[in-house]
Amino acid sequence: MTKIWRETGFVDNDPWVIETDEVKATGEQKPLLSLDELIAKADESNDVGLGVLIKPADDVRRLEPYLYRLEIVAVAFPAFNDGRAFSHASLLRQRLGYTNELRAVGDVLIDQVPLMQRVGIDSFAVSNATALKRLAENRLPAIPHHYQPAVRDAEAGKGYSWRRQAKPAA
């Protein structure tokens, strides 16, 4: 059972669906389009509020002209050890200036969630039992001291320019 988690808690009635041969978006649901589908659809319509799924081998920079029409970008972790989506997320946030929802889908595990947050991912499609349990208890295995700037807003760490410190919880 996959649930969507954001820092504010689990999300009900999330509309985004990764379509397959068996699963199609129905009613209120909306499909996460592939990069090519998204570009085709955006080029032939004026639709806004679109969603796209970036696969590891995709060039995320191709999204640049369409960013203002996107409501969500999902980046795929086909396996927890395929780390390309960390770079996709960094590029989307830092290079392309994308500000709407950025979701991790695929093999999302609790120990990777803090790293995903730091590269700007703010929504997580989670099915792993331990991850669901820990997120429900709000027990993220994050550490607050960072040795490098990243996407997620943080305070300057004491000492050197490259250090950052997580902001205390509000």
Partner 1 sequence: MYRYDEFDHAFVSERVEQFRDQVQRRLAGELAEDAFKPLRLMNGVYLQLHAYMLRIAIPYGTLSARQMRMLAHIARTYDRGYGHFTTRQNLQFNWPKLSEIPDALADLASVEMHALQTSGNCIRNVTADHFAGAAADEIADPRPYAEILRQWSSVHPEFSFLPRKFKIAVTGAERDRAAIQVHDIGLHLKKNDKGEIGFAVYVGGGQGRTPMIAKLIRDFLPEEDLLSYTTAIVRVYNLHGRRDNKYKARIKILVHETGTEELTRQVEAEFASLRDSELKLPEQDVEAIAAYFAPPALPQRAEGWENLARWKKADLAFARWVQQNVQPHKNPDYGMVTISLKPIGGIPGDATDAQMDAIADLAEEYAFDEIRVSHEQNLILPHVALADLEAVYRGLVAIDLAEANAGLITDIIACPGLDYCALANARSIPLAQEISRRFGSSERQAEIGELKIKISGCINACGHHHVGHIGLLGVEKKGAELYQITLGGSGDEHTSIGEIIGRGFEPDRVTDAIETIVDTYLGLRLDPSEIFLAAYRRVGPQPFKTALYGAAAEAA
Residue ranges that bind partner 1, judged by CB under 8 A: 56, 80-84, 86-88, 90, 94-95, 109, 111-112, 114-116, 118-119, 130, 141, 143-150, 157-163, 165
Smallest Cα–Cα separation from 116: which of 87, 154, 136?
A: 87
The pair phi, psi for residue 147, each rounded to 5°, is -95, 10
Close Cβ partners of 41 (under 8 Å, ≥ 6 residues apart): 33, 47, 50
Nearer to partner 1, 36 or 82 (CB): 82
Of 11 and 142, CB closest to partner 1: 142
Nearer to partner 1, 31 or 157 (CB): 157
End-to-end CA distance of the chain: 31
Shortest reach from residue 1's CB to partner 1, in Å: 18
Compute the least distance from the CB of residue 51 to partner 1, in Å.
Answer: 22
114 membership: H or E segment, kind and range: helix 113-118
